[in-house]
Amino acid sequence: MDKWIMWGGLALVVALLTLLNQKRLYAPGVKRAYAELKTLADRTERGTSEPGDLSRWEAALAEMERHPNEYNKLDLEIGLRSHFCAFLEKHAPGDPRLPELRLVASNRKDSVWGIKLTDRDR
């Protein structure tokens, strides 16, 4: 009987963690960075970004880089790296990060874990 209770408890914990992951219940800093990066990516896509946005990009990216799983989810969702690359190409074409960022942005991953599963880009 104790085994069934233990297994039931484990199943509930797994279900709860799955639910929390799906609901994206983040720490306040991650929530702000997530919203900020989505806004900045949208502005870049619409062509309304400004050179002064660079500090906002860097601050939000620094926060998200402390949470690699969330960073990868956001990149998978909106193409974060390619939007940041487009922003830098427009407003800071001499930025030393740009060549490496172009390379990384050109290789989108198929999963949140960062593993390229298929070869469909070729």
Give residue-wise pLDDT tens across range 86-121.
Answer: 999 999 999 898 998 888 888 766 655 555 555 554
Residue 25's pLDDT is what?
58
What are the structure tokens assigned to 23, written together?
Answer: 């609901």
Residue 67's pLDDT is what?
86
- The span from the CA of 81 to the CA of 61, in Å, is 10
Q: Mean per-residue pLDDT for 42-61?
A: 94
Query: Measuring CA to CA, which residue among 106, 101, 111 is closest to residue 121?
Result: 106
**pLDDT cut 90: percent of the chain above it:** 43
Q: Which comes out higher in pLDDT, residue 101 or 20?
A: 101
The highest-confidence range among 22-36, 39-53, 106-120, by mean pLDDT, is 39-53
Question: Domain boundaries in the chain?
Answer: 27-106
Percent helix, strand, coil in the chain (nearest 5)?
70, 0, 30
